[in-house]
Amino acid sequence: MFRRASRIQARAAGAGCNCAFPSRIARVILMHSLSWSAANHAYGKPMRFLVLVVLICTAPLLGAAARDATPATDFRWSAATADTFLTRFPDPDSIHWVNQANHFSWQAGYAMFTLEKLWRLTGDARYFNYVRRYVDQQVDEQGNIPGFVPDALDNFLPGYAILFLYEQTGLEKYKVAASRIRDGFRRYPRNSDGSFWHGEWAKHQLWVDGVFMGQMFLARYGAAVGDREYAFGEVTRQMKLALGHCLKPNGLLLHGWDESRSASWADKRTGLAAEVWSEGLGWYAVLISDVFDYLPTDNPDRGALLEALRNLCRGLRAVQDPKTGMWCQVVDKPGAPGNWNETSGTGMYIYLIMNSIEKGYIDRAEYLPVVEKAYAGIIRKASVGADGLVDIHDCSSIGIQDNYEAYINSPKEVNPFAPVTSFILGTSIMEARGGRRF
């Protein structure tokens, strides 16, 4: 994706001392009161006031615990972080770059993608209502989407949430709107082999990020609306083209490929990007994790993509940081000088591996320790500030970089949209495993 300055102002982190997690009483209150709606329903204003007092009084301890100790397993980081997101962005139209107004793009689309999943896990109507509010602010009664411009794959992802509302309500306006987005592919620019350009501003460039943005929508469209032959054929074609160009022998994918070889980052002989970037590979990981929910079981490409999924999981297991359980900014160079644990990609890989375990794509005994260690690592990147809100640290939201040094020297951001969402995605599937509800 095209990423410029995306840093959201950092909140104060928790205290830096090594201390125990808050008392049992505080933990119990926190566990049962992170959802404001639940507290309000059960006890009204007195409970909300008590919750606020507890959060303020224990915030330094929570921040320290997140960084220096293993938090109690009854503390649900995904719900707390999602609630923070809704608090900071009560109007979903505010999810866009600073000094821009385009909210029909990947940042909001990815947030809705994850909040839908959290709603399915928790049953919390606030997440459903937030997604519906976002969609209804984009789609008019005739199914028009004034904000949709089909000049970049990033702009197709919000259509996934429109399809969700169509599935839930059956309203024709959502179907019409989704069909308008599907029509955006009819004249979308391609390379000579059929691979989509990442955008009009990134001519001839295939980014693994963009494969997720376009094909996640199209896979659901084929299942929910129709045009199945085209939709499923295009989805698997684009996924295989990305594998054909960007796949390394270790099962991981380089960040991108430029057919013209003209981008500063493109190798002049192969057109390939130099490195495997954490969040970039993460987008492909989430796509390949979920695409089988939509592809027919007799799809001719299903077997090849399942093999790619297994190779990806195998490759990720091999380069997991043995100390922290996380994955690095440059994914397959965990021991290289200056490399660092990156939060967004780690959340996405947790989701890929845990979802693949639950769906039976990979072996539980072999991979469950991988995601358990990764979960223990990623929650140390969260802290709770004095305002009771969750901050997510050591994140990266960038475009394709020229070389290794440029990737590792990119800012370690706090609270960009996508990494916060990835944190929720990864922690929620771990915290809800075994059918438990929050």
pLDDT band for 76, please (50, 70, 90 cuts).
Answer: confident
Contact 33, 47 (CB under 8 A): yes
Contact 158, 105 (CB under 8 A): yes
Is the per-residue pLDDT at 10 higher than 50?
A: no
Is the per-residue pLDDT at 424 higher than 90?
A: yes
pLDDT band for 334, please (50, 70, 90 cuts).
Answer: very high
Please give the Cα distance from 291 to 33 (Å, whole number). Answer: 35
pLDDT band for 102, please (50, 70, 90 cuts).
Answer: confident
Selection from 13, 97, 19 nearest residue 63 by Cα: 13
Least confident window among 92-106, 365-379, 394-408: 92-106
Cβ contacts of residue 262 below 8 Å, gap of 6+?
A: 204
Report the pLDDT value the prediction gives residue 268, as an integer from 0 to 100.
97
String of b and e for 310-329 (b: at least 16 CB within 10 Å)? ebbbebbbebbbeebbbbbb
Q: Is 23 exposed, middle or buried (0-12, 13-18, 19+ CB in 10 A)?
A: exposed
Mean pLDDT for 375-390 is 96
pLDDT band for 214, please (50, 70, 90 cuts).
Answer: very high
Report the pLDDT value the prediction gives residue 99, as an integer from 0 to 100.
72
pLDDT band for 206, please (50, 70, 90 cuts).
Answer: very high
The one-letter code for the residue type at 93 is D
Torsions phi, psi for 367 (to 5 deg) = -110, -20
Instruction: Output 232 or 436, whichever has higher pLDDT.
Output: 232
Question: 176 has which bridge partners?
Answer: none
| pLDDT per residue as tens digits for the range 139-157 | 999 999 999 999 999 999 9
Is the per-residue pLDDT at 323 higher than 50?
A: yes
| pLDDT per residue as tens digits for the range 161-192 | 999 999 999 999 999 999 999 999 999 999 99
Report the pLDDT value the prediction gives residue 432, as an integer from 0 to 100.
86
Least confident window among 121-125, 276-280, 368-372, 389-393: 121-125
Mean pLDDT for 34-44 is 41
Report the pLDDT value the prediction gives residue 252, as an integer from 0 to 100.
98
The one-letter code for the residue type at 132 is R
Report the pLDDT value the prediction gives residue 341, as an integer from 0 to 100.
98
Is the per-residue pLDDT at 30 higher than 50?
A: no
Is the per-residue pLDDT at 265 higher than 70?
A: yes
Mean pLDDT for 181-208 is 98
Domains of the chain: 11-75 (no CATH), 77-435 (1.50.10.10)
Is the per-residue pLDDT at 318 higher than 50?
A: yes
Report the pLDDT value the prediction gives residue 171, as an integer from 0 to 100.
98
Least confident window among 59-73, 315-329, 337-351: 59-73
Report the pLDDT value the prediction gives residue 101, as an integer from 0 to 100.
75
Instruction: Output 9 or 248, whichever has higher pLDDT.
Output: 248
∠ CA 280-281-287 to the nearest 5 degrees? 105
Is the per-residue pLDDT at 43 higher than 50?
A: no
> What is the pLDDT of the chain when averaged over all its residues?
86
Selection from 58, 64, 67, 68 nearest residue 31 by Cα: 58
Instruction: Output 335 or 25, whichever has higher pLDDT.
Output: 335
**Element (DSSP H or E) covering residue 110:** helix 106-122
Is the per-residue pLDDT at 351 higher than 60?
A: yes
pTM for this model (two decimals): 0.84
